[in-house]
Structure formats: C-alpha cells, structure tokens
Amino acid sequence: MAKMGDIVICRCEEVTYGQLQSTADKHKCTARELKLRTRAGMGFCGGRTCRPSLDRIIESVIPNTAQGEIPLKYQPPIRPVTFGTVGENQ
C-alpha cells in the first residue's frame, strides 16, 4: 500500500503529495509559488485533471487560504480544434 506522500497528484508533471507538502513547509510559499516550484498543474492538461486536488492540498498546507483566494488559473489551449482539423492534409 502506498504512503500518502507517494500519491501522484499531477500526473503530467509527476508531482506527488509529499513533494507539495514538503515544498510548502520548507518555503512557506503562496499557492502560485507552490505551483511554480513544483510545476503541479503546469503540464499538458493545464491543470484540468489535478486542479481540484491541488486546490484542496493548498488549502490544507498553506494556513488561512480559502479556495476563492487561490490565484491559480487554468491554461486551456488558445483555440480548441478537432482531431479532424489537425489531421487534415493541406
């Protein structure tokens, strides 16, 4: 059975709960700084997969932080395209 610290929160960047916890404890960082230091939420999905978990972790490891105060944003693609458009021959 995996320990809590070994659970991968951000699959794109392979950031674990333990890395987030230790970074927040060591640097006493803000939510934005935690994201920048660990790259959690900065992978291919732009945080769409791990963002809810990341928000809850930030709330628990950074004192006096509510979800509405977490200044992180999603990074969606500039313009969504279909696979048909991508694979079209020009």
Spell out the per-residue pLDDT of the chain, length 90, in tens: 568 889 998 888 999 999 988 988 888 777 778 888 999 888 887 787 888 887 777 777 776 766 555 555 555 556 667 777 777 665
**Domain map of the chain by residue range?**
4-87
Identify the architecture of domain 4-87 in CATH: Orthogonal Bundle (1.10)
Reduced to 3 states (helix: H, G, I; strand: E, B; else coil), residue 4 is: helix
Q: How far is CA 45 from CA 9, 24, 42, 74, 89, in A?
A: 13, 23, 8, 9, 26
pLDDT of residue 69: 55
Residues β-bridged to residue 10: 15
Residue 43 is classified by DSSP as S
